[in-house]
Amino acid sequence: MSSIIKLSDNAATRIKEIMSGAEKNAKGVRVSVKSGGCAGMSYVMEYSKEINPNDEVIEDKGVKVFIDPAAVMYLLGTEMDYKKEDFSSTFVFNNPNETERCGCGESFKID
């Protein structure tokens, strides 16, 4: 089975940096989606202190990413990248399933 999400080298490196500064009991990073934003859905990333039994666990490039089961269908085939720009740095989700993305890039829609 192909993985739900692929991590770019930049994303994996950044997650390692974040995890090294995280509380000791953080096990990885959880990715989920929530309703909201101008296009309808937005990505959520947070530390995860426990693995939920239904989580999909992606281990890639030495990091663990837990995917919320409700998010799996929205994330299939997505590449997670990390972009550093002059005034901001952010994780970017390159999702082939998106049909619409709001102008600010904060939310997306899948038909």
- Are 70 and 83 contacting, i.e. CB atoms less than 8 angstroms apart? no
How do the pLDDT tens digits run along the chain, 111 residues long? Answer: 457 899 999 999 999 988 888 777 888 899 998 887 677 788 888 888 888 899 999 988 988 899 999 999 889 999 999 998 888 888 888 888 777 777 666 677 777
Neighbours of 27 (CB within 10 A): 15
Provide the pLDDT for residue 65: 92
Provide the pLDDT for residue 2: 56
72: helix, strand or coil: helix
Provide the pLDDT for residue 25: 82
Provide the pLDDT for residue 54: 93
Q: Write down the pTM of the prediction.
A: 0.79
Map out the domains of the chain with their CATH numbers.
5-109 (2.60.300.12)
Q: In terms of Cα–Cα distance, which of 59, 75, 79, 70 is closest to 11?
A: 79
